[in-house]
Structure 1
Amino acid sequence: MEDEALLDERSLSKLRWRCRRGLLENDLLIERFFETHAASLTVGQARGLGELMDLADNDLLDLLLRRKDLEADAALETRKVLELLRLPQAVLPGI
């Protein structure tokens, strides 16, 4: 299935560029995600990450810090990627 195929290097590079954010906190969490998951990132996960990148910086940060949750109709792949991106609150105290 195409969604389960690994992302090729060119697509991964484009995705990394698209994930650059205006808030340092978002950039730090996203960079941690890429350090951990880049080698195993699938096409479906990349699509889910792309949907998250459509959000405004503050909305994305609220999701990453569990201040709010995704809309009920969000795609399953988007939900799964969000869980991979999220850190326990204790890792970023004071945010």
Structure 2
Amino acid sequence: MDARAAQRLDAHAIARLRWRCRRGLLENDLLIERFFERHAHALTDRHARGLNVLMELPDNDLLDLLLRRREPEGDWVTPEALEVLALLRPPRPQP
């Protein structure tokens, strides 16, 4: 991993990223906001790239991925996007 990928984002970059992640579906917004509450302090350029990939998806496709109704597939799947998706998804319910 290069040094830039591991570089933490500053407050201004996080604010821009948060704005970029605003969605049309409330459910997506709630999950994304929880992600920022938990992980904003540790976000890196790598995470920003992964989030940007995910934000290109239509709202319903993103929600299906976040709720594990479907698994990632297609040209958009990158290691960065998969890493961020894992952080965005709510924990699996315990049996």
TM-score by length of 2: 0.89
Dislocated runs of 4+, deviation >3 Å: none
Pairing partner for 2:79 from 70, 73, 76 = 76
Of 57-66 and 3-12, more deviation after overlay is shown by: 3-12
- Amino acid in the other structure paired with 1:69: E
- Amino acid in the other structure paired with 2:69: R
Partner of 2:63: 61
Pairing partner for 2:17 from 15, 18, 24 = 15
Partner of 1:47: 49
State whether residues 65 and 89 of structure 1, in contact with CA within 8 Å, keep that contact through their aligned partners in structure 2: no
Q: Render the CA deviation track for 1:4-53: whole Å, top value 9, x for unaligned.
A: 10011111111000111110100000000000000000100111011000
Partner of 1:93: none
State whether residues 64 and 86 of structure 1, in contact with CA within 8 Å, keep that contact through their aligned partners in structure 2: yes
State whether residues 47 and 78 of structure 1, in contact with CA within 8 Å, keep that contact through their aligned partners in structure 2: yes
Deviation at 1:88, TM superposition (A): 3.2
- How many residues matched? 90
Gaps of 5+ in 1: 91-95
Residues 1:25 and 2:27 are matched in the alignment = yes
